[in-house]
């Protein structure tokens, strides 16, 4: 299996702090949580998608929330700032987790958020049980779906919620295409729409919502790509050409996969019975 650093999106991670510092210089002050969302929300539709998770999983002040594949901590910080809930944010890439911790400390949200650099399949949460589990564009990276869902079920309180945005497979792939997707998109578990539903049902989750986001995400990735190309020279000045080309290449790939209907998008809410 290829390492996640094979993805062009993560080959150069120093760009996150470069972009943050650039925004800070332009504003001549600390960016607000909303303003930094253009940098620290690595999924689609930014804080709008995080608001959905807060509402749909009923996150409030006393909630204990687990964020899987938490990246540089954008969703966790937004949730904490809006709800004062307690979050455990687990991220397999140490470089991203280190940036997340730095930014969380900057925004004085460290009393609400526990950042963990670890693999969700192997990390021991001991006796912790969560009211909500959230994840954006991360679960398709994880190869052992059976073990993952078993872990998530165990980690949830009874009547606890799970909110996930993820990819599903729209087009049958030959072996070489699967290898290419694994390397460039770190796609290690891609199944068809109905099969995805059945995995949840077979692991005792009650599906409350299951929405096809393919059209929405195709529009988003197209708009993101066009905006990035328009600001290409500016991004080179903030970072460098190698970093900028890596991100551009990944944005092109994401749009290509969605627009050519190789992949589709899913947003779902489920509950532990």
If you ran DSSP here, which 8-state letter would residue 266 be given?
Answer: E
Confidence of residue 273 (pLDDT cuts 50, 70, 90): confident
DSSP 75-143: HHHHHHHHH--EEEEEES-HHHHHHHHHHHHHTT-TTTEEEEES-TTT---TT--EEEEEEES-GGG-S
Residue 89 forms beta bridges with which residues?
67, 115
Could you report the per-residue pLDDT of 145-175, keeping only the tens digit for each? 999 999 999 999 999 999 999 999 999 888 8
Rounded to two decimals, what is the model's pTM? 0.95
Confidence of residue 71 (pLDDT cuts 50, 70, 90): very high
For the chain, the helix, strand and coil percentages under 3-state DSSP, each to the nearest 5: 50, 20, 30
CB-count burial class (<10 Å; 0-12, 13-18, 19+) for 61: exposed
DSSP 212-238: E-HHHHHHHHHHHHHHHHHTHHHHHHH
Number of C-alpha atoms within 13 angstroms, CB side, residue 162?
A: 30
CA dihedral 31, 34, 36, 38 (to 10 degrees): -140
**What pLDDT score was predicted for residue 2?**
67
- Residue 213 predicted with pLDDT over 80: yes
Q: How many whole angstroms separate alpha carbon 29 and alpha carbon 27?
A: 5
Cα 239 to chain centroid, rounded: 23
CB 58, CB 83: distance < 8 Å? no
Q: What integer is the mean pLDDT of 53-71?
A: 97
Could you report the per-residue pLDDT of 1-46, keeping only the tens digit for each? 667 877 888 888 999 999 999 999 999 999 999 999 999 999 999 9
Cα 122 to chain centroid, rounded: 19
Distance, first Cα to last Cα, the chain: 34
Could you report the per-residue pLDDT of 116-130, keeping only the tens digit for each? 999 999 999 999 999
Q: What integer is the mean pLDDT of 59-69?
A: 97
């Amino acid at each position: 299996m290829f390492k996640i650093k094979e993805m062009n999106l993560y080959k150069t991670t120093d760009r996150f702090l470069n972009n943050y510092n650039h925004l800070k210089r332009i504003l001549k002050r600390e960016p607000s949580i909303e303003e930094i969302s253009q940098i620290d929300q690595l999924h689609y539709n930014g804080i709008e998608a995080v608001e959905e998770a807060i509402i749909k999983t009923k996150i409030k002040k006393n909630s204990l929330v687990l964020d899987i594949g938490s990246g540089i901590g954008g969703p966790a910080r937004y949730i904490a700032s809006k709800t004062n809930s307690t979050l455990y944010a687990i991220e397999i890439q140490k470089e991203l987790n280190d940036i997340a911790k730095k930014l969380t400390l900057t925004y004085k949200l460290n009393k609400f958020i526990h950042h963990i650099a670890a693999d969700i399949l192997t990390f021991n949460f001991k006796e912790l049980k969560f009211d909500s589990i959230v994840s954006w564009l991360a679960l398709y990276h994880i190869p052992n779906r059976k073990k993952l869902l078993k872990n998530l079920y165990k980690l949830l309180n009874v009547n606890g919620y799970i909110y996930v945005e993820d990819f599903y497979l729209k087009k049958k792939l030959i072996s070489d295409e699967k290898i290419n997707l694994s390397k460039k998109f770190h796609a290690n578990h891609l199944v068809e729409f109905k099969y995805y539903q059945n995995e949840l049902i077979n692991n005792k989750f009650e599906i409350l919502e299951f929405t096809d986001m393919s059209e929405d995400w195709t529009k988003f990735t197209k708009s993101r790509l066009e905006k990035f190309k328009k600001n290409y020279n500016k991004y080179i000045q903030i970072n460098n050409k190698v970093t900028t080309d890596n991100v551009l290449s990944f944005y092109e790939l994401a749009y290509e996969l969605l627009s050519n209907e190789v992949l589709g998008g899913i947003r779902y809410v489920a509950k532990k019975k």
